[in-house]
Amino acid sequence: MNYSSLEQCLLDLEKNGHLIRIKEEVDPYLEMAAIHLRVFEAGGPAILFEHVKGSKFRAASNIFGTIDRSKFIFRKTFSQVQKLIQLKGNPMAAIKHPIDNFTTGLAALKALPLKNPINKPILHEEIKISDLPLIQHWQKDGGAFVTLPQVYTEDSDAPGIMKSNVGMYRIQLTGNEYELNKEIGLHYQLHRGIGVHQTKANKKGIPLKVSCFVGGPPSHSLSAVMPLPEGISEMTFAGVIGGRRFRYFYDDGFCISSDADFVITGEVYPNENKPEGPFGDHLGYYSLQHSFPVMKVHKVYAKKNAIWAFTVVGRPPQEDTSFGNLIHELTGDAIPQEIPGLKEINAVDAAGVHPLLIAIGSERYTPYMQTKKPAELLTIANHILGTGQLSLAKFLFITADETNQLSTHHIQTYFEFVLERIDLTRDVHFYTNTTIDTLDYSGTGLNAGSKVVFAAYGDKKRELCKEVPQELKELRGFENAQLCMPGVVALQTGSNEFAITHLQEQLMSHCSKLSSLPFIIICDDASFTAATLNNFLWVTFTRCNPANDIYGVGEFIENKHWGCKGPLIIDAKIKPHHAPVLKKNAEVEKKIDKLFAKGGSLYGIKQ
């Protein structure tokens, strides 16, 4: 059905067995987040917290906790939106099959936002920031945060909703140096539309007006994370996927969503920043405290019986994984259509999304050559790293497969295919002194680090080892060799005395014997790293800055190109400058056990 409010959606979920109510009073300090994480890990339902300590408002989380529930929420419009996106890539289909695409055209009419008439609706009441459910998710967080916001701004050169930007940028409500009820923190990263809007406002010397919507129909939350081209309003997408035009009005010059449960309005003035963070983020580490724009609060509104929507992020997969899966199913091959030669790409969620991209492209440049080697793949790789948020990728693996049987969504099979073919003297390409994700602390500074492309193509060069080679069991200073997957072994060392150079020296004479082992991972705990594929992906690609932390046995530089004759070594140890790993609070975990025990609201949910 097409929802006009968050509560209507939650009631529909409850009716269909997708929601559970927690009637006990729950503390917003760590407890609510801990409950959410445990329910999510169990594949449980959406949660409605009916009694939040310190606030009169209810709160809801895990709304999009599974891909099946997310698709259920949008079941009436999902296929129509898929067709609309396909028509953008193939507009001739609409001309050739007008009757088949008639309903799709009608659905597109929902894209036009609807401005309320002169008798603008008034939200139920004006409140203060301190009245909200002030949820702190992780123990070292700087305060309470909004984690499902729809942050709305307009282009000062072309004001109005059709050129607006809506993004899901986290908002810090309390803590640090913020004056309660008067100031909040606005955190946004590279390649975000709000940055364009603030730059234009700064040049004019005027404050940027910001409206933060929370709640409302679930289509509004999805629209805030939808990767739309610059200049296309997310509100148009909200109308199409929600099957209901986005309704709005203006008050004191601020755009107000008529359907939101809460609206926070305020202004960001040029060059006015304050420390924001720390915050337990989606890479599984804390993003540390940094200076970000401060928003001067104008007014805070709440509708009658408003419900505060939130999520909890941490080491993936989490609820935001469902957002990514939903977007992938909606957009299908939209990105490959934008990049010639690209067949498939996957931003690997288990590695934190931006740290690792794996892709399949075409290799058509030199069909007349007997020796197969990457050529077109390198062109495609450069295009990928120059495209929107894909440019934040730190590791990019790319290959070609003429059989069309390989998939980037079968991750271990993909890696084995690449490692069987990679030529470590030729196929490793570094990009130094460049930008990486704001939340990635493996680099040399905020947003600063390096990238590497592994472009492998050609005939199979090796059989990958399926057990740890004997040579790695006899090393000095490195121990507990564990097979992560065929062709990849994790080693641990607890001493800085044994630098990577010692490992290189010890293995140099064994290069020919180690041809079946392309990758060695140096880590703090080899048993943990090798225990699951997700552990390997998370440890390896979130804790490495390629130009600083990749080495090789028999490494060399020839005409500025780096290569190695033996195994490639990735140093994935935690370094002193890295952000702390997120850890659950044992006391809080014990406290919430009662909710899952017999008689508690969550009894019956698998733990």
User: Do 278 and 373 fall within a single domain?
Assistant: no
Q: What is the pTM of this model?
A: 0.90
Q: Quick one: pLDDT at residue 48? A: 98
Which of 430, 456, 482 is where one domain is finished? 456
User: For the chain, how many structural domains are there in total?
Assistant: 3
The model's pLDDT over 532-560, given as tens digits with 9 standing for 90+, comes to 999 999 999 999 999 999 999 999 999 99
**Whether residue 323 is found in the same domain as residue 271:** no
Task: Give the C-alpha separation, 511 to 509, whole Å.
Answer: 6
The pLDDT of residue 366 is 66
Please write the tens of the pLDDT for every residue from 241-255. Answer: 899 999 999 999 999
Burial of 583 (0-12, 13-18, 19+ CB in 10 A): exposed
Answer whether residue 604 shows pLDDT above 60. Answer: yes
- Secondary structure in 3-state letters for 168-192: CCCEECCCCCCCCCCEEEECCCCCC
Residue keyed to tokens 């989380």: 61
Torsion (CA) 335, 336, 339, 344 in degrees, nearest 10: 110
Calculate ∠ Cα 201-287-182, nearest 5°.
50
Radius of gyration of the chain from its Cα atoms, rounded to whole angstroms? 25
In terms of domains, do 166 and 23 share one? yes
Clarify whether residues 334 and 452 are in a common domain: yes
Question: Is 305 in the same domain as 209?
Answer: yes
Q: Do 421 and 546 lie in a common domain?
A: no
Q: Does residue 317 have a cis peptide bond before it, meaning omega lies within 30 degrees of 0?
A: yes
Residue 105, domain member (yes or no): no
> Does one domain contain both 225 and 336?
no
How many Å apart are CA 187 and CA 277, to the nearest integer? 9
CATH number of the domain where residue 563 is located: 3.40.1670
Instruction: Residue 164: name the closest of 110, 222, 214, 237 by CA.
Output: 237
Residue-wise pLDDT tens digits, 329-373: 887 655 666 888 999 999 999 998 889 999 999 988 666 666 688
Mean pLDDT within 59-71: 95
Q: Are 438 and 446 in contact (CB under 8 A)?
A: yes
DSSP helix/strand/coil, 556: strand
pLDDT of amino acid 165: 86
Looking at the domain assignment, is residue 126 inside a domain? yes
Q: Retrieve residue 230's tokens.
A: 């610059």
pLDDT at 88 over 70: no
Domain that holds residue 542: 470-571
Note whether residue 334 is domain-resident: yes
Residue 579 lies in a domain: no
Give the number of other CB atoms < 10 A from CB of residue 366: 12
> Confidence band (pLDDT; 50, 70, 90) for 231?
low
Which residues does 224 contact at the CB level (< 8 Å), separation at least 6? 149, 150, 151, 166, 167, 168, 234
Co-location of 486 and 564 in the same domain: yes
Instruction: Please report, for the domain that includes residue 430, its CATH number.
Output: 3.40.1670.10
- Answer yes or no: are the C-beta atoms of 573 and 543 closer than 8 Å: yes
Q: Tell me, yes or no, whether 16 and 117 share the same domain.
A: yes
Q: Are 530 and 484 in contact (CB under 8 A)?
A: yes
Above pLDDT 90, what percent of the chain? 67
Instruction: Examine the domain organization and report whether 348 and 301 are in the same domain.
Output: no
Strand, coil or helix: what is 585? Answer: coil
Residue 5 near residue 257 (C-beta atoms within 8 A): no
What's the pLDDT at 96?
Answer: 41
- The most distant pair of C-alpha atoms in the chain lies apart, rounded to whole Å, by 82
Q: Looking at the structure, do residues 296 and 379 belong to the same domain, yes or no?
A: no
Q: What is the mean pLDDT of residues 151-161?
A: 90
Closest by alpha carbon to 256, among 152, 327, 364, 113?
A: 152
Owner of token pair 């079941």? 75
What is the arithmetic mean of pLDDT over 415-428?
A: 97
Is residue 86 included in any domain, yes or no?
Answer: no
87 has a pLDDT exceeding 70: no
Residue 507 CB neighbours (<10 A) = 24
- Residue 593, CA distances (Å) to 21, 34, 37, 198, 330 in order: 16, 10, 13, 45, 38
pLDDT at residue 498, rounded to an integer: 63
431 found inside a domain: yes
Distance CA 169, CA 195 (A): 11
Flag whether 421 is in a domain.
yes
Q: DSSP characters for 336-351?
A: HHHSTTEEEEEE-GGG
In terms of domains, do 496 and 452 share one? no
- Where does a domain end: 256, 277, 309? 309
Q: Determine whether 407 is exposed, middle or buried from the number of CB atoms within 10 Å of its CB (0-12, 13-18, 19+).
A: middle
- For the stretch 112-140, pLDDT in tens is 888 886 556 667 799 999 999 999 999 99
pLDDT above 70 coverage of the chain, percent:
90
Task: Indicate whether 99 belongs to any domain.
Answer: no
Which of 281, 309, 337 represents a domain boundary (last residue)?
Answer: 309
CA distance 372 to 395: 23
CA distances from 603 to 89, 532, 584, 594, 606 (A): 48, 29, 21, 9, 8
Q: Do the beta carbons of residue 339 and residue 383 sit within 8 Å?
A: yes
Q: Which of 542, 537, 570 is nearest to 555 (CA)?
A: 570
What's the mean pLDDT when you consider all of the chain? Answer: 89
Cβ(77)–Cβ(240) below 8 Å: yes
